[in-house]
Amino acid sequence: MELRQLEYFIAVAEEANFTRAAERMHVAQPGISAQIRKLEREVGQDLFDRSGRGIRLTDAGRAVLPYARSALGAVAGARTAVDELSGLLRGRIAVGIVGAGPTITFATQLTAFHNDHPGVDITLTEADSATLLDRLRSGELDLVVVGLATEPTPDLTIEVLAEDPIVAAVCRDHPLAAESSVPLTALRNLPLITLPRGNGVRSRIEEVCARAGFAPHVAFEASNIAVLAQLTESGVGVAIVPEPLVPIMSTALHVLPIHPEVRAQIALAWRTEGPTNPAALAFRQQVRANR
């Protein structure tokens, strides 16, 4: 049993697709398929069910997966321990970031960390907050930056990085463009443009609207900033987004504070228990220090 076989096995398990796993590992698909077959012969069981249109782990595959991750983690830990003796930090960090949400300059954080620690490889995953937290719990991700929608569970540690007002944004010829602010209740019958469910901002808006006695009329939802901007500029609705996101969307939009004020929180999360590699710890410290 070779380390690369375990790496390929984990990649296929996480991607649920041999082609995507091969692309992720930068190898040809026949090569990765052959190594998986070799691993299956060594363990004496099929690790993947290939009978359907897609592939999925068998019971044996699900049993092997945590041990494969632990084995690779142990090898990485051994390498890191040796590197620490020479003052070199290296390894791999899997970071998740919620789409169209964080107000911290995350690209700047990543660039600065890479410049300080060129031996650390960073894998960046973008998804909604709920998906990222699930992948954090499963061990697929080391750290995530998410929008807070509910109270965190004890298995995760949460640290708020930013708290921003949620505002309404409209095109210049929208009827609300003549106003300087908008009451929350005035949004009752307006078509809204928002981020998708699973995002802390969307959950926060639904929560405060429910407390005010109505359900928001979400006409459009999108996680892509360019799509949010195009929809808002076309005048088909009122965008409800974190205030720092508006100038990124478009400089041609009119911003309206909502009253009473509604705020959204962006937080850094990591597993409360379990091993955290030194590279992930160093990155976490940098994000916390520069929030």
SS3 74: helix
- Short-list 4, 30, 3, 35, CA closest to 19: 30
Q: Is the pLDDT of residue 190 over 70?
A: yes
Q: Decide which of 91 and 10 is more confident.
A: 10
Same domain, 83 and 169: no
Mean pLDDT score, 168-179: 93
Judge whether 233 lies within some domain.
Answer: yes
For residue 195, give the amino acid letter. Answer: L
169 and 82 inside one domain: no
Please report, rounded to a whole number, the percentage of residues in the chain having pLDDT higher than 90. Answer: 42
Domain boundary among 87, 119, 147: 87
Whether 113 is in a domain gets the answer no
Q: Which residue has the higher pLDDT, 102 or 7?
A: 7
Q: Provide the pLDDT confidence category of residue 57 given band limits of 50, 70 and 90.
A: very high
Mean pLDDT score, 22-33:
90
Does any domain span residue 106?
Answer: no
Q: Which among 87, 119, 141 is the end of a domain? A: 87
Domain count, the chain: 2
* Residues of the chain by 3-state class (helix, strand, coil), percent to 5: 45, 25, 30
Q: Establish if 249 belongs to a structural domain.
A: yes
Residue 171 banded pLDDT, cuts 50, 70, 90: very high
Report the alpha-carbon distance of residue 291 to residue 288 in Å, rounded. 5
Residue 119 within any structural domain of the chain: no
Give the bridge partners for 157, in sequence order: 270
Per-residue pLDDT band for 92 (boundaries 50, 70, 90) equals confident
For residue 182, the enclosing domain spans: 164-262
Residue 39 lies in a domain: yes
For the chain, first and last CA: distance in Å?
A: 43
Question: What is the rounded average pLDDT of the residues 175-180?
Answer: 92
| Average pLDDT score over residue span 163-172 | 92
User: Is residue 144 domain-resident?
Assistant: no
Q: Please give the backbone phi and psi of residue 131, each rounded to the nearest 5 degrees, phi first.
A: -65, -45
Sequence-ordered list of residues with C-beta below 8 angstroms from that of 274, at least 6 positions apart, any chain: 139
Q: What's residue 107's pLDDT? A: 76
* Structural tokens at position 214: 């109505």
Is the model's pLDDT at 238 over the cut of 90? yes
Domain membership flag for residue 32: yes
- Give residue 84's pLDDT: 63
When the pLDDT of each residue in the chain is averaged and rounded to a whole number, the result is 87
Q: What is the CATH number of the domain that holds 19?
A: 1.10.10.10
232 near 164, Cβ under 8 Å?
no
The pLDDT tens digits of the residues spanning 252-287 come to: 899 999 999 999 888 889 998 865 677 888 888 888
In this predicted structure, the answer to whether residue 100 has a pLDDT above a threshold of 70 is no
pLDDT digits (tens, 9 = 90+) for 103-149: 456 778 888 888 888 888 888 888 888 889 999 998 889 999 888 86
User: 25: which residues sit within 8 A by CB, 6+ positions away?
Assistant: 7, 8, 11, 32
How much is the average pLDDT of 194-214? 88
Q: Residue 19: left (phi > 0), alpha (psi -120 to 50), or beta?
A: alpha
User: Where a domain ends, among 63, 87, 111?
Assistant: 87
Q: Are residues 171 and 257 in the same domain?
A: yes
Q: Flag whether pLDDT at 36 surpasses 90.
A: yes
Pick the range with the lowest mean pLDDT from 71-75, 88-92, 223-227.
Answer: 88-92
Kindly tell me if the per-residue pLDDT of 182 is higher than 90: yes
Across the range 235-243, mean pLDDT stands at: 92
Q: Where residue 44 falls among pLDDT bands split at 50, 70, 90?
A: very high
pLDDT (mean) for 81-104: 70
pLDDT at 178: 92
Q: Which of 51, 49, 18 is nearest to 32 (CA)?
A: 18
Find the mean pLDDT for residues 62-88. Answer: 79
CATH number of the domain that 237 lies in? 3.40.190.290
